[in-house]
Structure 1
């Protein structure tokens, strides 16, 4: 093990992304400083769809009770063309999302950060930063206006689409903006509307989405004419949109929040510059179609935090951090593409296009495509990472092979929940006979990085699982050539030298 770094990691932004990064670092014993330039958490509901993989991250932070209290399970997505049903995407136990409004998500994450000994520094702003290969100098402005410059091991920018961190790095935010203005409102609704489903109405007058909230209200999402301003969005205009685009017979009242916004599809040209990282909206933004925004940002932070923690404490080589950008860019690109496709499908106006969309959706439901592919993807369970510093190349062709795949999430949710989050786990199946000597080599040389778990079985196998429970490498022979080779690239040079000298 090389010498641990004693400098803190600076996390900028105390929204869901920054809070996840800070909480995940703190619970792994990494010193962290979390700042936000605002004076308090935002009360606005904003994002609200939380998918199973993200729920798993939150439960890992000890939020089970909070999720059960504040989450509303969603049984299905119900799509209609006008008022005619097209398809019903029904979620099972494995893929079912929950509606948890963003203030509640942030509260559960603040509680997790506080339990790990952290605190948020409100009204504290990043003014400038500079870096060299050994560290980052950041100048912060405190609530009283004083400025101080301190050195940090790393900086994480979780500070949103207008990210100060990204701008300080000079990283381009490439993409485009949809011409339409979109509308959000949270309101009470009188009328016959199933409360455990999200309702989509694709009409000749435009798209209307109605999402139930746990407090009995509904989120209304629709598109407005170009140029519509927030101050022009009256309750009467909102009711008119619902009348023309919804199922009919719905009466809005007690509107608690309404806003207009533009939809962007943009991504940073890179997610890392030296010792500074971008996550969430600071790195990529896209349409809310599919409800992936908050989830992608949280899993960005989750992916980054365990890597930073291992490198910070000297248990892994800095090269491990090279995997963050390539892994999360691959996921973000998939999310942006899917959201763009769905948004364009919502906005179709030609009759033949609408008919083709409706027929395709019905066929997908009847053939099981939604159940086998789309729902697990929405749930965050099928995202996978390319080969690189944290994922070994696959061995041979896999056309007929079953079992875990490198770069994919361990399939068994119960097994995932039992694995440590601060180190790798080598899951070994051992047939009867003498224990392979290479297992002792793993335990001796990589004791700060890997825990070995064994179970009896007919055939030998060894699966190296990362702290985020994705498969890093595997072997089917006791020589452990692939696993040991991969560990050699992960471990700091000092650790490898100690192992060999021992």
Structure 2
């Protein structure tokens, strides 16, 4: 095992992404400082759709009771062309999302962080950043205006689309902005509208999305005219949008929050520069279509935190961190592409395009394509990672030998929940009559700080190496575990040579 690093990790930005990173690091025993230049948590509801994979991350942080109290399960997405139903994407137990508004998400994450001794340093701003191969120097301006400079092991930038961290490391943020302006409003609503579904209305007058909220209200999302100013969005204007684009018969009142905004599709040219990492909106932004934004950012942070923790405590080599950018960039590209396709489908205005869209959606529902592919993808269950430092490039024997491929999420949720979060797990199936291979003891001895072995009995030998985030790293069908040994050897931190005085102190000859 290499030397443990006792310097803290600095996380900038105390929204869902920064809070997830800090909470995941703290639960693994990593010292962390979480700073945000705001005076305190934002009350604005902002993002609200939380998908099953993200819910699993939150439950792992001890938030199950909070989710049950504050979450509103969504039964289906109901799509309409005008007021005519097109399709109904129904979610099962495995794929069902929940509406949890962003202030509640942030509260459950702050509670998780506090349980492990962490806290948010509000009114604390990053002003300067420099690094070398051995560490990062960051200057922070505190609430009193005084600046202090500290040394950190790593820095995580979870500070949004205008990221100070991203600018400090000189990473470009490339992409485009949609010409349309978009409108959000949270409001009470009178009318007959199913409360366990998200309603989409694609009309000749524009798109209208109505999302139920836990407190009995609805989120209204629609497109506004280019150049519209926030002051132009009066209650009368919003009501007119709902009348012309919604199902009819709905009356809005008591609007609690409204805003206008532009939609961007942008991504950082890289997610890492040395010891500094970008996550969430600091690394990628896209249309809210599909409700993936918060989820992608949270799972960015989840992916990064376990890797940082293993390297920080000296159980894994820094090469493991090289996998973060390639893995999460692949996910971000898929999310941006899907959101762009859906946004463009909403905005179609030619009759033949609308007819083709509607026929395609009905066919996808009828043939089960939504159930088999789209819903699991939205749920975050089918994202997978390319071969690299944290995913072995070998099939581990005959491809048919294993039910799942390397880089994919372990399928069984019950097994996922039972695995340790601070190291890899090797799930070994031993033949009922076979002896325990000597390679298992050798592996545990060589990589005990990095992996734990769990055995069961079955028909034939197999070994599945599962990462702390429950993705499959490597698989092996040979009892000598050559492939697994090779993968772990590539990740294990080199041992620190014993100092002469340590050997003498242990009774060795000088």
- TM-score (ref. length: structure 1): 0.98
CA RMSD, Structure 1 to Structure 2 (Å): 1.2
Q: Confirm whether residue 391 of structure 1 aligns to residue 385 of structure 2.
A: no
Q: Confirm whether residue 211 of structure 1 aligns to residue 179 of structure 2.
A: no
From the superposition, tell whether residues 348 and 7 of structure 1 become closer, same or farther in structure 2 (CA, over 3 Å). same
The corresponding residue for 1:483 is 484
The corresponding residue for 1:245 is 245
Deviations 1:264-310 (A, max 9, x none): 00000000000000000000000000000000000000000000000
Deviations 1:195-250 (A, max 9, x none): 00000000000000000000000000000000001111000000000000000000
CA distance in 2, matches of 1:406, 1:496: 34
Q: 3-state DSSP class of the match of 1:79?
A: strand
CA distance in 2, matches of 1:113, 1:435: 41
The corresponding residue for 1:97 is 97
From the superposition, tell whether residues 402 and 358 of structure 1 become closer, same or farther in structure 2 (CA, over 3 Å). farther
From the superposition, tell whether residues 368 and 495 of structure 1 become closer, same or farther in structure 2 (CA, over 3 Å). farther
- Aligned-residue offset at 1:130: 0.3
The corresponding residue for 2:503 is none
- Aligned-residue offset at 1:458: 1.1
- Aligned-residue offset at 1:433: 2.2
Q: 3-state DSSP class of the match of 2:30?
A: coil
The corresponding residue for 2:160 is 160
- Runs of at least 5 residues in structure 2 that lack an aligned partner in the other structure: 499-510
Superposition map of 1:124-139 within 5 A: 124-139=124-139
Deviations 1:48-94 (A, max 9, x none): 00000000000000001100000000000000000000000000000
Q: Confirm whether residue 446 of structure 1 aligns to residue 447 of structure 2.
A: yes
CA contact (8 A) 2:180 2:223 kept: yes
The corresponding residue for 1:405 is 405
CA distance in 2, matches of 1:47, 1:12: 19
CA distance in 2, matches of 1:204, 1:246: 11
The corresponding residue for 1:39 is 39
Superposition map of 1:46-445 within 5 A: 46-395=46-395, 402-431=402-431, 432-445=433-446
Number of aligned residue pairs: 497
CA distance in 2, matches of 1:54, 1:394: 29
CA contact (8 A) 2:77 2:199 kept: yes
Deviations 1:445-499 (A, max 9, x none): 01111000000111000000000000000101101111000000010111799xx
The corresponding residue for 1:3 is 3
- Runs of at least 5 residues in structure 1 that lack an aligned partner in the other structure: 498-502
Deviations 1:305-334 (A, max 9, x none): 000000000000000000000000000000
CA distance in 1, matches of 2:371, 2:199: 18
From the superposition, tell whether residues 32 and 90 of structure 1 become closer, same or farther in structure 2 (CA, over 3 Å). same
The corresponding residue for 2:457 is 456
Q: 3-state DSSP class of the match of 2:89?
A: strand
CA distance in 1, matches of 2:195, 2:331: 31
Choose 235-244 or 389-398, whichever is displaced more. 389-398
- Aligned-residue offset at 1:395: 2.1
CA distance in 2, matches of 1:242, 1:338: 26
- Aligned-residue offset at 1:16: 0.1
- Aligned-residue offset at 1:404: 2.2
CA contact (8 A) 1:383 1:408 kept: yes
Deviations 1:172-194 (A, max 9, x none): 00000000000000001100000
CA contact (8 A) 2:395 2:405 kept: no
Deviations 1:120-150 (A, max 9, x none): 1000000010000000000000110100111
From the superposition, tell whether residues 193 and 450 of structure 1 become closer, same or farther in structure 2 (CA, over 3 Å). same
CA distance in 2, matches of 1:146, 1:338: 45
Q: 3-state DSSP class of the match of 2:303?
A: helix
Deviations 1:83-123 (A, max 9, x none): 00000000000000000000000000000000010011000
CA distance in 2, matches of 1:474, 1:484: 10
Q: 3-state DSSP class of the match of 1:494?
A: coil
CA distance in 2, matches of 1:325, 1:401: 30
CA contact (8 A) 2:396 2:474 kept: no
CA contact (8 A) 1:445 1:495 kept: no
Superposition map of 1:18-37 within 5 A: 18-37=18-37
- TM-score (ref. length: structure 2): 0.96
- Aligned-residue offset at 1:394: 3.3
CA contact (8 A) 2:15 2:159 kept: yes
CA contact (8 A) 1:488 1:496 kept: no
CA distance in 1, matches of 2:128, 2:463: 47
CA distance in 2, matches of 1:258, 1:451: 50
CA distance in 2, matches of 1:446, 1:473: 15
CA contact (8 A) 1:86 1:358 kept: yes
Q: 3-state DSSP class of the match of 2:478?
A: coil
CA contact (8 A) 1:464 1:472 kept: yes
CA contact (8 A) 1:17 1:279 kept: yes
Deviations 1:326-373 (A, max 9, x none): 000000000000000000000000000000000000000000000000
The corresponding residue for 2:508 is none
